[in-house]
Structures are given as C-alpha cells and as structure tokens.
Homo-oligomer: A and B are copies of this chain.
Amino acid sequence: MAHPIPPTAPDQVQLLTPDGRRVAHPDYRLDAGPDLLRALYRDMAVARRIDAEGVTLQRQGELALWPSLLGQEAAQVGAAHALADDDHVFPSYRDHGLALGRGLDPLKLFALFRGVSNGGWRSAEHNFHLYTLVIGSQTLHATGYAMGAALEDAGSAVLVCFGDGATSQGDVSEAFNYAAVYDAPVVFFCQNNQWAISEPNHRQTRVPIHQRAAGFGFPGVRVDGNDVLACLAVTRAALERARTGRGPMLIEAYTYRMGAHTTSDDPTRYRDAAEVDAWTRRDPIARIRAHLEREGLADEAFLAGVDEAAEAAALRVRQGVRTMADPEPEAIFDHIYADGHALVDEERAEFRAYQASFAGAEGR
C-alpha cells in the first residue's frame, strides 16, 4: 500500500472545481443551463441510490454479485448526456449510470446479477449493448460496429466503456489500432478508477492511460472524471468528432472506485482508508450539488424531489428483484442457435423426459 493514489491528476480537463465553481478550459466549453445542471445531479443521485440498492440486495442474498459504480457517477452520467439517440454504447459491467441514461430498465441489470439471465436486454431498443464480462472484448465489438457505421455513412458514433485494467489487454490495443486504421467513429471511454480489483494503476501501465492513443494515431485526453460537466463536454466533443468523420478518440476519465470491486471483494486488504477518504472529499455528486447550491439552483424542494425519485427507483428495484421469477429450466436450451442445432434438440428432449420422470415420481 506504498503508493496512495492522489485524487488529482495533471493535465486533466476540468470545468468544475471540487468546491463547485465553474472554470473555463481553452479546448472544451459547455453551455449548461439550469435544467441540464439539475438533470445531471438528479441522474447521478438516482444512479447512486439504485447502485446502493444493488449492494444491499446482494448482502440480503437476493443477488449473486453487484459491482458498484460508487464514485463513478460523474463519468457515466456525463457521458450518457453527451450521447445522441442513435449513438450506440458498448458498456463494461459497472456502467449502471450509462444504462439508466440510455433508458434501460434497471431490473434488467439486476436480473443479470441475480443470475436470472446473462444479459437478456434488447440492445437495439436503447442502443445499449449487453454488459461484457471478459475484460476488453467489447472494445473490438464497438470498433467493428463503428466500422459498419462508417461503411453505411450513418453519421452516428459509438461509445465503448472499459476500465484502467482493461487497457493491458491485447484486444484493447487491437481495437485502438483497427479504429485508427479504419477511421472508425468510436470513442474509447476509459473510466480510470485507479484500481483493477486489487491492482493499482502502476501495475497496469507506466504512463497515464490517455497517452496510449497517440501511438495508435488518434488523440487521447484526460478528463476529471469526478467533474460531470467536463465529462459531458469532452465526451460530446469526441462523439461529434467521430460523427463527422474525424476518427476515434480516447477519453480517460480520472476517477475513483470508492467502494469494493464487487460485493465479493474486500478492499481493506489492499488499500488504505486514507486514500479512500481523500477521494471521498472529491465526491462527484457533492461537487455538482455544491455548484447547484452556489448558483442557487437547488432549493430544498428540488433536493427533496431528487431524493424521493431516487427512493422510488430503489423501491421499485427492490420489489422487482424480490418478485423476480426464476427462468424455466428448459431455458438452458433456448437461443443457443438462431437456426437450430440437432444436438440441442436431442438434449432438450432428454432433459424434458428426465424432468418428466420426476413429475411422475412425485405423482406416485
């Protein structure tokens, strides 16, 4: 635990200081009216509340696992607000804030982490792909999807999420390279939350992650990942760049995983409380809230309203999870192939007969 990770980074784009003051940046501007500012706060607060419910439900035995987004709300909500409807998102597995931002029913996420499905939402409905658990794989899918958009002159962009640890995977470098060579309209959105389970950044990379991009031929930028305005502005610019045929870009959102890696993890084994404390003082939600209050945009009623909305969302999730039906056993054999497979049919029939033998036995 020799290298506590400081909660600031050099050269990061910032539009909002930790105490909630707007600052200008030469390259990234953002006109953010009251409605947008309030919406950002609300979305972050709701995401955090639903996420907390995930942790609770897992503790209560309702979920197999929950990977908490705690601390990463600004990055995810900022990015979500930058997206156009026909942009497509390829998430990792911690991107609940983006899922909500795309309009996905959170119960879909909970079904996954309850062990009811391995994904199971229709990505086309919200232009939000399935979660991907194999680290880094989705960066290639996103790149291919973006190559398709370019072939079709679709004018839309693709956003793909991954973590700091993921940057070590060969697939991610291959994705960078394919994106560069094919000038694919894809934005690589890396949430550098400082940790890959128990491994800090310096075990993954020798230099800041955003610097990786230049060597593949496209720009990389580091943004203060706890600054929702900066995340929004930078992501918006990158997406627009992609949409207008100027190729890929890498965004490193410099943030912090304030909780455990997942509910299975015990971070006290590998990091100091002092580090967590330092980052807690840079809480992304506190920052936008400070700004709202400083600007007089958040009265009691508004704040109470957000809390209420968050509670309601959490309640809906809680009830939904508790009453979530298990899948039918025979679902094991569903949707493996689009056009069928004789062996699956054979095994399904055997399975049915076997199940029926119990029904018979119980009947006796």
Q: Give the B-binding residues of A (Cβ under 8 A).
A: 168-171, 173-174, 177, 180-181, 202-207, 211-218, 220
Contacts and interface: CB of A to CB of B under 8 A. Distances in A.
A168 B174 CA distance: 6
9 contacts: A170-B170, A170-B174, A177-B204, A177-B205, A180-B205, A181-B202, A205-B216, A207-B214, A211-B217
A218 B207 CA distance: 9
- The A contact surface, by secondary structure, is helix
A139 to B, nearest CB: 11
Contact of A169 (B170, B212, B215): B170
Given A173-B170, A177-B168, A214 B217 contact: no
A280 to B, nearest CB: 28
Contacts of A215: 207, 211-216, 220
A296 to B, nearest CB: 44
A203 B217 CA distance: 13
Nearest to A212: B215
B211 A214 contact: yes
Contacts of A214: 207, 211, 214-215
A215 B213 CA distance: 7
A47 B258 CA distance: 60
A213 B169 CA distance: 16
A181 B205 contact: yes
A6 to B, nearest CB: 19
Contacts of A220: 215
A214 B213 CA distance: 10
Contact of A181 (B170, B173, B174, B204): B204
Contacts of A207: 180, 214-217
Contacts of A206: 177, 180-181, 216-218
A4 B48 CA distance: 56
A205 B204 CA distance: 24
Contact of A173 (B173, B180, B213, B218): B173
B177 A174 contact: no
Contacts of A204: 177, 181
A181 B196 CA distance: 15
Contacts of A173: 170, 173-174
A207 to B, nearest CB: 4
Contacts of A217: 205-207, 211
A204 to B, nearest CB: 7
Nearest to A170: B170
Q: Which 9 A-B pairs have the closest CB atoms?
A: A170-B170, A206-B217, A173-B173, A215-B215, A207-B217, A180-B206, A212-B215, A170-B174, A211-B215
Contacts of A180: 205-207
A14 B206 CA distance: 30
A169 B204 CA distance: 19
A242 to B, nearest CB: 15
